[in-house]
Amino acid sequence: MILGIIKTRLPSNRSPLYVVCLILWLNGKLFAQEESRDSNMVVCLCADADLSPAGVMLAHEHAKGFFKLSYAAMRMNMQHIFSGTDLIKESNVFNSYLMAPTYMTMDMHMIMLMYGVTNRLSIMTMLGYNVNNMSMTSFASSAGSTNVASGGHSHGGGTGEMDMKSSGFGDTKIQASYQFVNNKLDVFGNIGLSLPTGNFYFSGEDNDAMYPNQRYPYSMQLGSGSFELLSGIVGLYSTGKLISGVQVNSIIRIHDNEIGYRKGDEINANVWIAYKWLSWFSSSVRVNGVSESSINGLDADLTAIMEPAADYRNYGGNWLNFYLGANFYFNKSIFQDSKLAVEIGAPVYNNVSGMQMVAEYGGVFNWSFYF
């Protein structure tokens, strides 16, 4: 907007140096006004002031000139197969596919670094490392045969169970968070970009049971292959030791990846209540809702009939999860100004597109250092 005003009001005979000087002057004025507002704020660089649950990020003000370094580990265990809102049997899967999933784990390890540019504005970058494991069984083995479809290896004397594993760095996220309101009610907004640094061409080895030297299905890939627009808003209401919060985040995939598909857009909402019982301990209850649209396009190298995860129609849906959490605060020794947060949760509602495995339970571990 500033550039638009300059273009319309600047005489044509002005030099580019004049434009640069004018922009610098305007920026100086804007930051001076913000510093004036910040001088009236009280921002605590204290780990024990952050009551947000382990699975909620960018929901706490950060002091100017200081850092927050966090390590987070998340695990999701998936087992049951749903179609829509209904739990279905393995035999229903074999009506359409050669293989049926029996178990899957998704692990994510994340390092996040946040810096307070002002008492209102913070910037953040996050890099993740993903590990995905999936076990499947073939139609032949389910029917009682010792022959394994696709030439796969078997466990326990020909049970026909096969495994896939993918691991590596995921996409990199860069975001900025701004605090619009600072009172009993705090309001934050964040915006950012996810960079497609994760491998979305992950393939099986030569001896892979199902995908020898072939690309793995969508859910086993480490990145989306697309630039993604990240945005969100957070509201916190504090009454002494009790804090309630609402957060809504969105992920918009901007374009198809090089393979020819685009993962679905996503809305993720959290509502939580946290209470600080002691100077070193707080607990929380959180409800998490996720809505994801279907995949747009497809990977033409995947054979959809092989298994549900290889079929682009089996992605997207709506999920509701419930979490219980606890935070532990450290103010002594080498762990001074740090917070250890844990959460465990399970789904209470699943409504999926096509046939999909859903979470049985999940957990989050988060250790943050403020300095």
Cα distance between residue 1 and residue 200, in whole Å: 37
User: What pLDDT is attached to residue 58?
Assistant: 85
356-368 pLDDT per residue, tens: 999 999 999 999 9
Which residues on neighbouring strands pair with residue 109, listed in sequence order? 73, 129
Stated pTM of the model: 0.82
pLDDT tops 50 at residue 250: yes
Do the Cβ atoms of 72 and 365 come closer than 8 Å? yes
pLDDT tops 50 at residue 164: yes
Do the Cβ atoms of 170 and 198 come closer than 8 Å? yes
User: What pLDDT is attached to residue 240?
Assistant: 82
Q: Which two tokens stand for residue 114?
A: 């946040």
| Angle CA 112–115–120, to nearest 5 | 125
**Mean local confidence (pLDDT), 298-305:** 96
pLDDT tops 70 at residue 308: yes
With residues binned 3-state (H G I as helix, E B as strand, rest as coil), the percentages for the chain, rounded to 5, are 15, 50, 30
Using alpha carbons, select from 288, 90, 315 the residue that is nearest to residue 221: 315
Do the Cβ atoms of 260 and 284 come closer than 8 Å? no
pLDDT tops 80 at residue 280: yes
At 183 the three-state DSSP class reads: coil
User: What pLDDT is attached to residue 140?
Assistant: 66
pLDDT tops 90 at residue 99: yes
Q: Kindly indicate the confidence band of residue 26, based on its pLDDT and cuts at 50, 70 and 90.
A: very low
Which residues on neighbouring strands pair with residue 111, listed in sequence order? 71, 127
User: What pLDDT is attached to residue 47?
Assistant: 65
Task: Name, in order, each residue with C-beta under 8 angstroms of 317's C-beta and a sequence gap of 6 or more.
Answer: 291, 292, 350, 351, 352, 353, 356
User: What pLDDT is attached to residue 62?
Assistant: 80
Query: Helices 2-9 and 16-38, interaxial angle, to 10°?
Result: 140
Kindly state the percentage of the chain with pLDDT values over 90.
71
185-232 pLDDT per residue, tens: 999 999 999 999 999 999 999 988 889 999 999 999 999 999 999 999
Amino acid present at 44: C
Do the Cβ atoms of 272 and 264 come closer than 8 Å? no
DSSP letter, residue 216: P
More confident residue, 14 or 205: 205
